[in-house]
């Protein structure tokens, strides 16, 4: 349960980072608030658009999916269901791989680092680690027999 709560919180943080970058890509607001000043270089590079869509939008969708799945997995009826943990691990693995590709582009193609992208990379990596750890922890027992009182022995 704790791991899904952590993932929901982290996904929320990542979601707002992605929303900020996405709205900026759509032309809302002015220059990015970025201490190093390289965010604009990254965001205005050709690599900031993949398959005709701003990269940040993929982040919005990915983090939203993680958030929703984590919340669904937090329902009492779903807590013991391992498939939600598997789904979270699957989505975050895709996210980590995509983030790794984007970080490679920043370092070796664009030659600039955006603090917001680094922040998002840290968030998705944390989600990924938590989701993997949750797969290793034992599932909750939900079989009814486990909580039934033992039958009385015949005298």
Alpha-carbon 81 to chain mean position: 20
Q: Minimum distance between the CB of residue 3 and another protein, rounded to whole angstroms?
A: 13
Cβ proximity to another protein, 39 vs 91, nearer residue? 39
Give whole-number Cα distances, 4 to 26, 115, 126, 127, in Å. 32, 26, 12, 9
Q: Which residues bind another protein (CB under 8 A)?
A: 5, 8-9, 12-13, 15-16, 19-20, 23-24, 27-33, 37-41, 44, 74
Measured distance CA(95)–CA(83) in Å, rounded: 18
Closer to another protein by Cβ: residue 40 or 94: 40
- Are 110 and 47 in contact, with CB atoms under 8 Å apart? yes
Q: Kindly tell me which of 34 and 94 has the beta carbon lying closer to another protein.
A: 34
In the complex, the smallest distance separating the C-beta of residue 55 from another protein, rounded to whole angstroms, is: 17
């Amino acid at each position: 349960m704790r791991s899904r709560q952590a993932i929901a919180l982290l996904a929320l943080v990542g979601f707002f980072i992605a929303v900020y970058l996405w709205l900026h890509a759509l032309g809302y607001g002015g220059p990015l608030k970025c201490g190093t000043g390289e965010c604009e270089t990254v965001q205005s590079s050709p690599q900031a658009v993949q398959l005709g869509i701003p990269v940040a939008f993929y982040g919005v969708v990915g983090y939203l999916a993680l958030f929703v799945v984590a919340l669904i997995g937090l329902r009492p009826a779903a807590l013991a269901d391992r498939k939600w943990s598997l789904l979270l691990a699957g989505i975050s693995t895709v996210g980590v791989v995509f983030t790794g590709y984007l970080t490679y582009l920043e370092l070796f193609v664009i030659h600039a680092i955006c603090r917001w992208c680094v922040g998002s990379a840290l968030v998705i990596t944390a989600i990924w680690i938590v989701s993997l750890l949750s797969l290793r922890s034992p599932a909750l027992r939900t079989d009814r027999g486990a909580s039934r009182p033992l039958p009385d022995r015949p005298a």
